[in-house]
Structure 1
Amino acid sequence: MDDRKLVFFTSIEDQGGVIVKETPKFDLDLYIQNYKGRTRFERLFHIGRSSVPLCVDALKAAVQEAKAGKDILRYQMAVNSLFQAARNEPEALLDKAWLDAKAKENRETTLHLQAELQGYKNNLIKESIRMGNEDLGKHFEAIGDVEAAMDSYWKMRPDVSSTEQLVDIGKLLVRVAIERHDWKSVANHLSKHVNSANDSDPKAKALKTYARIANGIAALGQERYKEAAFSFVEANSDVSPEVYNQIASPNDVAIYGGLLALATMDRHELQAHLLDNDSFREFLQREPHIRRAITQFVNGRYAACIEILESYRPDYLLDIYLQKHVPKLYADIRTKSIVQYLKPFSCVRLDTMQKAFNGPGPSIEDELFTMIKDGKLNARIDAINKSVMPLSTDSRQQMQSYALHTFEDYEKQALDRIRRMNIMAADLEVKGTRKPGSMNDIPMGMAMEGAGDLA
């Protein structure tokens, strides 16, 4: 790393950014082709400020992406970052002529669309007002004014005339909320707009998949990992990526769903919801290493699963949604693996476990001690013999407790049935409430007293 790059990344690291020094396994050009819309710039810019090997290429691509659009601020941000990292690149020089021309064009377009909308309002044409607000909102979104864009999209709601139009508004609001990382708003817009679509609608399958992927991203952002896992796993692979490629790609669905499932689901759930799920298996074919990791975990080869995931850690640290969750997800997967590994044994030597789970971080003994202390592992460490002994519960006591509980439950049910049979034989009726003024009703107390005598 040259001195200029070193200063650039040191500054980012001081601000709390994550720096990835390893070269990722994906090809940048092929990776970015999976996306459309404003997320392309976001991902390129994020990679450029996180990956040391891809820094210059990603930032140059971000400059070109910004220049192909209307967002002046994004263009300035990309040029400024590239200038700090590699000032000798041609793209690192600010194109002031383009800036001035684009700023003027944006102002003129804004005034034109606002004048058009005002004309529609004066003529009280509802459909034209709705479309005018949509055009203005998309323009604001394109130039980077997401607050104004969301305001314009909200103003479309009073003028909708069909469920399809309401769903379209919801997708626009969801897209802007995801860009703002406003995860609560994403869930609200999905429940109010997108999920209101009729199941008989031919587009229902596509809308449900869009909603599940958007909800998965929002749940991931709020660290509701199991909910996010099920959202991604339930996405339909038959739906064209064009439906959701402004927020994610099919590869993302496989990676997000696979990692989150490994961190939150047990082996039986992984088998049922991922490996035996025909639809999600289609997603996994795009990321075969994720499928291999899941298969290894289900088959009890936990060290192999962790090894696969560790080799792809740099890739996941460059994802705009996964980056800050990777350490927690990897730690949860490792903890689950260790717990599952110990289950069949009464005693395991520490050096054997160290060899099986040879990963980064503290020694296996310190890791096991922390897990026991946090209540994640029910075991005891023998420091003298250098071994760990899982503590199993008394199965005999459990069976006795279960049998006693079953007997008490059966006795209660039998008495209730005998009492009911006696009440019916005596031609009595028990009611929950007594209707005032009714001469034919038998008071509940009398009925129960008679039933007690019969019993």
Structure 2
Amino acid sequence: MSEAPKQTKKPVDDGNFDKEVISKWPDLELAQTRFMINHPEVNANVKEAKLTKLQEAIKENDMAPFYELVCAEFKIAADATQLSAMKAANAKRIAEITAEVEDAEKNLGESEVRQGLLRKFEYYCQIGDKENAQKAYTATYEKTVGMGYRIDLVFAMIRVGLFFLDHHLINKYITKAKDLMEQGGDWERKNRLRSYEALYRMSVRDFAGAADLFLEAVPTFGSYELMTYENLILYTVITTTFALDRPDLRTKVIRCNEVQEQLTGGGLNGTLIPVREYLESYYECHYDRFFIQLAALESERFKFDRYLSPHFNYYSRGMRQRAYEQFLTPYKTVRIDMMAKDFGVSRAFIDRELHRLIATGQLQCRIDAVNGVIEVNHRDSKNHLYKAVIKDGDILLNRIQKLARVINA
């Protein structure tokens, strides 16, 4: 008697097998190029070269919606012939994909329908059509069953938000990605989410939140669709020097093998050498070198980075304040001219900076202009905590009394 053939169980497609389902569109390098063309301090010849590069990419990928956007933004006349040809190519490709989806709905299965919808979504991302990309995302997401595939879709929408720096869109889909991760995201995608969220937090000036996430992303980084590994190291150093105190900076950055390996190597074409010197001069208290490196990074990197550019003044002020605090902490009194010499600046500059920080309560010291010294008021942490508890207790008692009056009324 012959045995019945064994039935093999068909594996369930949960979306965790294929890590490259979503393409790398939209291309964030094009967004950086667009930013540089708009920047008022970029040399005219450099702008012209970047505009040519951007137009070539637009033409190559038939990016008609994005072409109309940048022409209006740069106040340049659109090439009517090129725009018409790109729109025709867009319409043709969308019609082809729509026909494939309709055929799949009639003759094939749900998986083929989802793949067709995914191609349409990717195409809208490729041509820079944000509105239609959001509509296509919704249709694709509804047809997607696997958790991994759904998370990849959400990542793509975060990239759309980053491409246009639409913070509402980015925040919405980061929240969505976190919810999906709690339902069953895999390890690799959780690591990728850290990079996405870190970049977003840095772009909205949450340097402390970004620093923690960048540090977690460094050992297992894989989100090359967002940034290069060198840029990850740059952002990690920039945010951690701003957010961490000295013990944490030593433990998490100075002694981090992955960070130090990149900084020691200097990066491609030496791009990380200034970053290494910036970190070392700050940590080793070489304040004159630190000011030079901070100014160099500000003028050469921060201003021309689309994520950091809106915040470079805020960052520079914050880092100068941290350097002053670090310098003043060991002293009870220090001469103003000695401090100015250590920082490599004029006495008038230090005097002006300290007046601003003391007036706003950011530095706990006072200036004795007659004797030319700074008197440091070291905060008693226990006394400060005691006063904070008393203050918070008074606020709580007042609220309880108000609540009691409402209840008894």
Give the TM interval when normalised to the shorter protein.
Answer: 0.7 to 0.9
Equivalent residue for 1:356? 342
The answer to whether the 8 Å contact 1:303/1:357 transfers is yes
Q: 1:321 to 1:360 in 2, by over 3 A?
A: farther
* 2: CA distance, partners of 1:245 / 1:124: 35
Match of 1:52 in 2: 42
Query: Distance between the aligned counterparts of 2:96 and 2:242, measured in 1?
Result: 51
Q: 1:42 aligns to what?
A: 31
Q: Secondary structure at the match of 1:171?
A: helix
1:212/1:232 contact within 8 Å kept: yes
CA contact (8 A) 1:232 1:253 kept: yes
1:140 aligns with 2:121: no
Q: Which runs of 5+ in 1 are unaligned?
A: 1-34, 85-92, 402-455
1:202-221 aligned at under 5 Å gives the runs: 204-205=187-188, 207-221=189-203
Q: 1:104 aligns with which of 88, 113, 117?
A: 88
**Separation in structure 2 between the aligned mates of residue 36 and residue 143 of structure 1, nearest angstrom:** 9
- Unaligned stretches of 5+ residues in structure 2: 1-23, 387-409
Rounded to whole Å, the distance in 2 between the matches of 1:161 and 1:186 is 18
Q: Report Cα offsets for 1:219-258 as digits up to 9, x if no partner.
A: 123322101011112213554xxx4233222122112111
> Could you tell me how far 1:117 is from its partner in structure 2?
2.3
Figure out how many residues of one structure are paired with residues of the other and give that number: 348
Distance in 1 (alpha carbons) for counterparts of 2:246 and 2:91: 57
Q: CA 1:313–1:135 in 2, change beyond 3 Å: closer, same or farther?
A: same
Q: What is the aligned-residue RMSD (CA, Å)?
A: 2.9
Structure 1 contact 71–142 (Cα < 8 Å) conserved? yes
CA–CA distance in structure 2, aligned partners of residues 65 and 81 of structure 1: 17
**Contact 1:186-1:215 within 8 A present in 2 as well:** no
8 Å contact from structure 2 (residues 94, 120) kept in 1: yes
> Shift of the alpha carbon at 1:383?
1.2
Going from structure 1 to structure 2, the CA distance change for 1:47 and 1:353 (only over 3 Å counts) comes to same
Structure 2 CA distance for aligned equivalents of residues 342 and 277 of structure 1: 28
Deviation at 1:110, TM superposition (A): 1.6
Q: Give per-residue Cα distances to partners, 1:197-229, cap 9 Å, x unaligned.
A: 555xxxx34x33321111111112332210101
Structure 1 counterpart of 2:243: 264
Which residues in structure 2 correspond to 1:12-411 (within 5 Å)?
37-50=26-39, 51-53=41-43, 54-76=46-68, 95-122=79-106, 125-180=109-164, 181-182=166-167, 183-193=170-180, 198-199=185-186, 204-205=187-188, 207-237=189-219, 239=221, 243-284=222-263, 285=265, 286=267, 287-314=272-299, 315-358=301-344, 363-393=349-379
> CA 1:358–1:68 in structure 2 vs 1: closer, same or farther (change >3 Å)?
farther
TM-score by length of 1: 0.69
Bigger CA radius of gyration: 1
Contact 1:169–1:193 (8 Å) recurs in 2:
no
1:170 Cα deviation after fit: 2.3
1:186–1:218 contact (8 Å) kept in structure 2: no
CA distance in 2, matches of 1:300, 1:274: 16
Q: Which amino acid aligns with 1:224?
A: D
User: Counterpart in 2 of 1:19?
Assistant: none
What secondary structure, in the 3-state scheme, does the structure 2 residue paired with 1:356 have? helix
Residue 42 of structure 2 aligns with an amino acid whose one-letter code is V
Report SS of the residue matched to 1:234: helix
TM-score (norm 2): 0.76
**Deviation, structure 1 residue 308:** 1.0
Provide the rounded CA distance (Å) in 1 between the counterparts of 2:331 and 2:26.
53
Identity %: 19
Query: In structure 1, what is the equivalent of residue 10 of structure 2?
Result: none
Find the aligned partners of 1:329 and 1:255 in 2 and give their Cα distance.
14
Aligned residue identity for 1:41: L
The residue matched to 1:344 in structure 2 has which SS?
Answer: coil
1:66 Cα offset (Å): 1.8
| Equivalent residue letter for 2:82 | W
CA distance in 2, matches of 1:127, 1:359: 66
CA change 1:263–1:121 in 2 (3 A) is same
Q: Deviation per CA, 1:56-89, whole angstroms, max 9, x where unpaired? A: 22222222222222212433555677786xxxxx
* Inter-partner Cα distance in structure 2 for 1:78 and 1:68: 16
CA distance in 2, matches of 1:279, 1:55: 35
**Residue 303 of structure 1 aligns to which amino acid in structure 2?**
D
* Mean CA deviation greater in 358-367 or 382-391: 358-367
